[in-house]
Amino acid sequence: MSLVRNIYKNVVPEKLRWKIYRFKSNKRAEKLRNEIISFLNSSKNTFPKEETDKISKFLKEQGIHVFPYDFTLKYTPDNIEVHHDKKYNLNYVIHQGKKLFFKKNSSEKRIKDQYSFLLNEQDVESAHQYLSNEFNIELDSVLVDAGVAEGIFVLPFIDKIKHAYLFETDVEWIEALNATFADYKDKVTIVNKFIANKDDTMNIKLDTFFKNGAKIDFIKIDVDGAEQELLNGAKEILARKEPLKIAICTYHNQNDEMDFTKMLNHYNFKTTLSNNYMLFYLDKNFKEPYLRRGIIRAQK
């Protein structure tokens, strides 16, 4: 497990992980907000002025947010309806017409916070949006979702894809995933392992899992800072000549965007970036220039 993942899972209690993305009003947040605004208004800032003016305005009016843009104001937890399924004894929300289940011990308030953040994350204006009009999931695709959690990425496409491999190690999320995809067991394989650069009891390389050369069309990667480890364990897949799309998070560490772009370009992927920026202040090394891109979309 990567250092960042250890910090995130061990230092930040799970009950706080979702709330920490929301607006804050404590002294630390105020100090950080002022530091960011000061930097964005300084001569050291090299980001486009129109962009940084918009972010500064948001920070002044709304406070710190991982996604410092007005689109976040659309998503209010209080407007989210949470339902209970007696069969599975789990709570769920309706996401694009389908039941999306959450962990058994999740309170209604916590689910509302979680789902609200997920909607922020996948808004069309979000830096964390994996897809675009030009970069999407094709009919009969085979998907790999590394860091699946609740499964919100795969669920909207479950009827059109051929198969999805969901990598998740949290047994409570696995229980929820089994409920969410109960009607699609023939299309979904849940793998209780971390994808890494080694093979052992809890880890497996993508190259090992797909060592028979099985078809893969799309890989979504969001593994709490362990993205580089995953890529290092997937070099045979990256080297394939067949078409492949990869959406990978680039905000967990300061240099991820540069490092992942260089590596993917080496394997002849064409890369583009998601729109806008993130303020990922969960990173203990969060510092100037503060703004980070959220997703690299790679394709060949």
Q: What is the pLDDT of residues 194-207, one digit of tens each?
A: 999 999 999 999 99
pLDDT of residue 25: 55
H helix intervals, the chain: 3-11, 14-17, 27-40, 49-62, 108-121, 171-180, 206-209, 227-232, 235-238, 256-266
Q: What is the mean pLDDT of the chain?
A: 91
Average pLDDT on 112-130 reads: 95
Rounded to an integer, the average pLDDT of 132-146 is 97
Higher-confidence residue of 237 and 30: namely: 237
Looking at domain 77-130+137-299, which CATH architecture does it have?
3-Layer(aba) Sandwich (3.40)
- For range 178-182, the mean pLDDT: 98
Nearest to 146 by CA among 154, 138, 135: 154
pLDDT score of 10 more than 70: no
Q: How confident is the model at residue 228 (pLDDT cuts 50, 70, 90)?
A: very high
> Per-residue pLDDT for 1 more than 60?
no
Least-confidence region, from 6-10, 126-130, 225-229: 6-10
pLDDT of residue 212: 86
Angle CA 54–39–119, to nearest 5: 45
Q: Is the pLDDT of residue 231 over 80?
A: yes
Q: Is residue 2 over pLDDT 70?
A: no
Model pTM?
0.91
User: pLDDT at residue 108 above 90?
Assistant: yes
Task: Give the pLDDT band (50/70/90) at residue 15.
Answer: very low
pLDDT at 122: 94
Question: 60-106 pLDDT, tens per residue?
Answer: 999 889 999 999 999 999 999 999 999 999 999 999 999 999 999 99
Task: Give the C-alpha distances (Å, rounded to integers) separating 11 from 86, 196, 282, 284.
Answer: 34, 22, 10, 11
Would you say 249 and 292 are in contact if contact means Cβ atoms under 8 Å apart?
no
3-12, 180-189, 192-201: lowest mean pLDDT where?
3-12
Residue 283 has a pLDDT of 87
**Hey, which of 11-15, 84-88, 282-286 has the most confident mean pLDDT?**
84-88
Model confidence at 7, pLDDT cuts 50, 70, 90, reads: very low
**Band of residue 5 on the pLDDT scale cut at 50, 70, 90:** very low
**Residues paired with residue 247 on neighbouring β-strands, in sequence order:** 220, 297
161 against 2, higher pLDDT: 161
CA atoms of 29 and 33, how far apart (whole Å): 6
Query: pLDDT exceeding 70 applies to what percent of the chain?
Result: 92
